[in-house]
A and B are shown apart, each in its own frame.
Chain A
Amino acid sequence: MNAAIIFVLLFALMLTGMPISISLGLTVLTFLFTMTNVPIESVALKLFTGIEKFEIMAIPFFILAGNFLTHGGVAKRMINFATSMIGHWHGGLGLAGVMACALFAAVSGSSPATVVAIGSLILPAMVAQGFPKGFGAGVITTAGALGILIPPSIAMVIFAVATNTSIGALFMAGLIPGIVLAMLLGLTTWYRARKFGYPRMKKATWGERWHAFRASAWGLLLVFIVLGGIYSGFFTPTEAAAVSAVYAFIIAVFVYKDMPLRRVGKVLLDSASMSAMLLYIITNAVLFSFLMTSEQVPQALTSWLLSMGLGPITFLLAVNILLLLAGNVMEPSSIILIMAPILFPVAVKLGIDPVHFGILIVVNMEVGMCHPPVGLNLYVASGITKMGITELTVAVWPWLATMLGFLMVVTYWPGLSLWLPKTLGMSW
């Protein structure tokens, strides 16, 4: 009963449009003052200690690293490299767009920023070559979402923090699904481009390819520093994040020279305020999940599921539907922070692997970024292309359908995510 009141109150507050962090916090306070005799001091303590974990500090560092490299110059290098490698196949620039998005998303970590950076450079070129506007928009909107699946991913760190799962294992587990999804989106692009006879590019020479690779390699090295560093035990995920931030700073300012030194203060400020926003949601979400646990909501949910005779298969289907619905109104980090602490204990009880569950949630979030009413990528793409949201939704569907199909594969084939970390001998 209490749990029902908590949820109704939370949703009512959220729908008024106030910040999610505030609605979480107010829900918890209301509950504490009216429905329970949990001493308020113990909650006050949570409020201060909620984010005092070194793992959480990976978030600000990764945001900082991403912001140093979220630059038009980096996007241009990624596009040149992708075009030189696969631009001569069916789909030409569109296909290269998928690859460029995957590469850029890996270093930048922000999906909307990827859509803007790659989209505003590659879309005009595609239109000039004779591609229909909707084709390019569909490619970039969906491929831009790859960022949260390909490590380093802030969404994964948030999941790890909310559920005490290993960040390193999640990163490794995301790598293969990320590459496979990029290939599937590319395949959809290739197939449609071949069917409609869209233009291709001239084949680049190996010299040109090497040249383009050298230019983009500095940025891509960041992914290897993070993954390699964590895997080899050279540093913890948070240290890896801090090192990658320093690396990104050196590359942006001294190697690529995209960023003058005086802009660094602004990047620091932007990253700090973005991190503070996330950390503020996390603080309040920690309170909320504390409340969920003290009300034994996950246990109640588990015993209800078991009494209904529902196994992991039905549960995972329900999780997917629930998350896709939540993706209709909320942005990814908040969904993960609110849902994961409730669903995760149930999943573990049903024998679902924690890391697999994390990857499944992240792929869900990706889908949510690409469909209306709140898919942020759609809004950003609509800003670039000047197409309406409805028109874009129609343009996006072949790739969105691909993503949904991929989501089903990820959901019911744990091996796809778990093979790499297991083969590398990681334990979690």
Chain B
Amino acid sequence: MSKILNHLEEWIIATLMGAATVIIFVAVVHRYASGLSIPYIQDALIKINMSWAQEACIYMFVWMAKFGAAYGVRTGIHVGVDVLINQLGDKNRGRFIIFGLLAGAFFTGIVGTLGATFVWEIGHTEQVSADLEMPMWIVYLAVPLGSYLMCFRFLQVGWTFWKTGELPKHDHAHVEGIEDIKAEMVDPFHPAPVKSGGNA
């Protein structure tokens, strides 16, 4: 179950990223290609309407941002100011980390609820988006869904940390084609893990 959710999450954000790129690229090519006076092809191109591309791109990235932020909690990509707490002993740092994760769950929980209310209200109106004419509540559904998922991820990471003392850690300096060099790199924007469980 959890595995399916993980894959779905990854699949959604990677696809949105790729598709948005292709859409904008095609829209640009289309704009210039339909300006070339090639018989038949030009007429065919002019008939295709690409004016919805910008709006589609924005909404795709809004969805990507909400779900990507949840994925980021699972992979530890969110940056913070960890210079101070990394100076603390394991026990106290553990407390701060738990506090931070719970605060994250709390905030995303509130936003999710606000978002759900908002979507509920807007769902009872006839509001549609400007170009795609898509109902706005579908567009904004990203907020409650993404926020609740993020809330769940914060709790999940917090639970693992409580049990094992491990935190997901993203490597901000990874370069393809270069073997890993930063074996023991401590970085100032992420909390260091603690040795035993966070409840120690």
Chain A interface residues (CB < 8 Å from chain B): 13-23, 25-26, 29, 40-41, 44-45, 47-48, 51-54, 56-57, 60-61, 64, 70-73, 75, 110, 112-113, 115-117, 120-121, 235, 238-239, 242-243, 245-246, 258-259, 263-265, 268-277, 279-281, 283, 328-331, 334, 373-374, 376, 379-380, 382-384
Partner of A22, one of B62, B64, B107: B107
Chain B interface size band reads: 35 or more
Would B175 and A72 count as touching, CB distance under 8 A?
Answer: yes
What is the CB-to-nearest-CB distance from B87 to chain A, in angstroms, rounded to a whole number?
Answer: 10
From known contacts A17-B100, A48-B115, A117-B175, infer whether A383 and B65 are also in contact, taking CB-CB under 8 Å: no
Indicate if the CB atoms of B17 and A60 lie closer than 8 Å: yes
Any A CB within 8 A of the CB of B54: yes
B185 touches A268 (CB 8 A): no
B89 close to A (CB within 8 Å): no
Q: Are A17 and B80 in contact (CB under 8 A)?
A: yes
Which B residues touch A272, using CB under 8 A? 13-14, 16-17, 64, 68, 71
Question: Which of A73, A239, A263 has the most chain B CB within a 10 Å cutoff?
Answer: A239
In the bound assembly, the distance between CA atoms of A20 and B104 in angstroms comes to: 10
State whether A383 touches B25 (Cβ < 8 A).
no
A379 pairs with B188, CB closer than 8 A: yes
When distances are taken between beta carbons in the complex, the residues of chain B under 8 Å from A17 are 80-82, 84-86, 96-97, 100, 191
Which residues of B sit under 8 angstroms from A70, Cβ to Cβ?
A: 175-176
Residue among A19, A47, A115, A374 making CB contact with B114, cutoff 8 Å? A47
**Complex contact A273–B176 (CB within 8 A):** no
User: Does any Cβ of A come within 8 Å of B181's Cβ?
Assistant: yes
Contacts of A245 in B (CB 8 A): 21, 25
Residues on B with C-beta less than 8 A from A384 are 181-182
List B contacts of A373 (CB < 8 A).
83, 188
* A116/B79 in contact, CB under 8 A: no
Q: Are A263 and B68 in contact (CB under 8 A)?
A: no
Contacts of B174 in A (CB 8 A): 113, 116, 270
How long is the Cα–Cα vector from A20 to B75 in the complex, in angstroms? 16
In whole Å, how far is B115's beta carbon from the nearest beta carbon of chain A? 7
